[in-house]
Amino acid sequence: MLELRPSCECCNTDLPPDSTDARICSFECTFCATCTNNILNGLCPNCGGELLVRPRRSLSKLIKNPATTQRIHRPAGCESTAMP
């Protein structure tokens, strides 16, 4: 089950479970669309995998299976992936 992490690892922007702005890799590293497109060039800085739109979970399923509240913020790792 996806964790649905609550924020972008680069800029720490909130990404609630119903966000259409969230992007994830196969390891569930989570980024916002802005950082994905403008800084990361569509690739996860942690594993090199592609970042895709994160699926959303219905409200009825969120009640039984809530999103995680643990925030991961690694701005230094994101800066190193920027294109020159």
CATH number of 12's domain:
3.30.40
Contact between 7 and 73 (Cβ < 8 Å)? yes
Say whether pTM exceeds 0.75.
yes
Question: Residue 69 sits in which domain range?
Answer: 1-84
Query: Over the stretch 54-72, which tens digit does the pLDDT of each residue have?
Result: 999 999 999 999 999 999 9
Report pLDDT for 76: 85
Report pLDDT for 32: 98
Contact between 49 and 25 (Cβ < 8 Å)? yes
Tell me how many domains the chain contains.
Answer: 1
Report pLDDT for 84: 47
Contact between 60 and 53 (Cβ < 8 Å)? no
Query: Over the stretch 10-51, which tens digit does the pLDDT of each residue have?
Result: 999 999 999 999 999 999 999 999 999 999 999 999 999 999
Say which residues have a Cβ less than 8 Å from residue 76's Cβ, sequence separation at least 6: none
